[in-house]
Amino acid sequence: MGPCLDARMALERLNRNARMVHEADEYSAGLRTDEGDAVEHLPQDGALSRAHARTNTPDEAKSAQSIFEVIAILVGFLSLVALGLLVTWIWNGWLYHTISLDQFLGLRKVLAILVVVYAMLSVGRLIGQATTQGAFPRKFVPELIAFSVFWILVPPIWFFVEYFAVQSDWISGLPWLDKGEYLKTIKDYADYASKIWAGVLALLGVLIALKR
């Protein structure tokens, strides 16, 4: 009986040790699972930053888009209205000798600077949209229409207004008594300026064609 009893007691001790090891393994696995869940649900700075960027970037882009759209529409609309009023006033003789040559040249210089800035804005906006995949987004279409209306209509109307202003004696203090000679100078200037305008218009057309 002695050897059998010793063997049975040894077997029981082995079983108890095995159960203890198994329970310890289960306890450790449970701790790892709980820690993993806690870490998984714990917000991290990088994830928060990315989520914050994803939340704010569309709103900021939409705000910038709205600002550029308003600028484009206002510039096109106000330019056409101003030129239409000038043609009407000059046509009816209401602006006879109302501006000196120096004032007119200063006005033309300011307008030339503004047009150059607006040309850079137009080209920059179209390049930004042309480099993206697919067609122009629907939200960009009003801005695109405003750019097109401005560059198609405003420069030639201005050339006409400038010529018409000289012919109708709107500008006083012209350097030559021969109006025809000065009108020829205006036509030459308009011819050179129209080449620049045509270049901007062609560039805009190429950028638009790239999106097809």
Summarised one tens digit per residue, pLDDT across range 130-142 is 887 777 788 888 8
Out of 21-35, 75-89, 169-183, give the one with best mean pLDDT.
75-89
**Cα separation of 78 and 80, whole Å?**
5
**Cα separation of 179 and 197, whole Å?**
26
Task: List the single range of 10-14, 42-46, 71-75 with lowest mean pLDDT.
Answer: 42-46
- Over residues 165-188, the mean pLDDT reads 76
Specify the amino acid at residue 22.
H
172: β partners = 100
Helix axes 141-167, 45-91, angle to 10 degrees: 30
DSSP state of 99: E
**Residue 203: CB partners within 8 Å, gap ≥ 6?**
123
Helix axes 101-130, 45-91, angle to 10 degrees: 140
CA 39 to chain centroid, in Å, comes to 40
More confident residue, 17 or 84: 84
More confident residue, 54 or 93: 93
**Cα separation of 104 and 15, whole Å?**
107
**Cα separation of 116 and 200, whole Å?**
10
CB 190 within 8 A of CB 159: yes
Q: What would the DSSP string read from start to end of 103-144?
A: HHHHHHHHHHHHHHHHHHHHHHHHHHHHTSSSSPPGGGHHHH
- Express each pLDDT in 81-90 by its tens digit: 998 898 888 8
**Cα separation of 65 and 67, whole Å?**
5
